[in-house]
Amino acid sequence: MLSREIKMDYRHDLDLTLSGNTFENLKADFDRVLFNTLDNMESKGSYTAEITVKLKIDLIQSMVPDVLNGEQTSRSAIIPQFDHKVRSVMQIKDEAEGSLRGDYELVYDDESGWIMRKINVSIHAPARGAI
């Protein structure tokens, strides 16, 4: 029996680089998130954002079909799995500050409770509990 040499087809190999086509979905997702982030920043007046790219890699031990000396068999292989997540966080701050101060003193009024009373205001009845 003549053993036939099996010619391997490597046309479908994927280079594990960002510059090739292997991670096209990751790059497309990044481009979409970047565009949306810049669009949102411009429309909402935000000047700060962060884009995070997360790549999770799992190596799974598995048995795969193989041909050895013309016979169908199986062999152990490591199957890589790449999961990505691209997300952006845009900071939009909306705050207001104020202060209430001046020529007032804190006093207890029998009818209203604690109040702020203007200092040096002539009062007919003295307030109880001035601090």
**pLDDT (0 to 100) of residue 21:** 86
Contact 49, 23 (CB under 8 A): no
Closest Cα partner for 84 from 62, 51, 113, 111? 51
**pLDDT value at position 96?**
61
Compute the distance between CA of residue 84 and CA of residue 24 in angstroms, rounded to an integer. 11
Kind of pairing between the strands at 71-91 and 104-109: unpaired
58 close to 80: Cβ distance less than 8 angstroms: yes
Residue 108: per-residue pLDDT? 86
Q: Are 93 and 41 in contact (CB under 8 A)?
A: no
User: Rounded to an integer, what distance in angstroms lies between the CA atom of residue 70 and that of residue 73?
Assistant: 9
pLDDT score recorded for residue 95: 63
Query: How many residues belong to the chain?
Result: 131
Distance CA 64, CA 5 (A): 19
Q: Indicate the domain borders of the chain.
A: 24-91, 103-131
Whole-number pLDDT of residue 2: 40
pLDDT of 3? 42
What is the full DSSP assignment across 10-55?
-TT----SSSSSTTHHHHHHHHHHHHHHHHHHHHHT--EEEEEEEE
pLDDT digit string (tens) for the chain, length 131 residues: 444 444 566 677 888 888 888 899 999 999 999 999 999 999 998 889 999 999 999 999 988 888 887 888 988 889 999 999 999 999 876 666 777 677 767 778 888 887 777 787 555 555 555 55
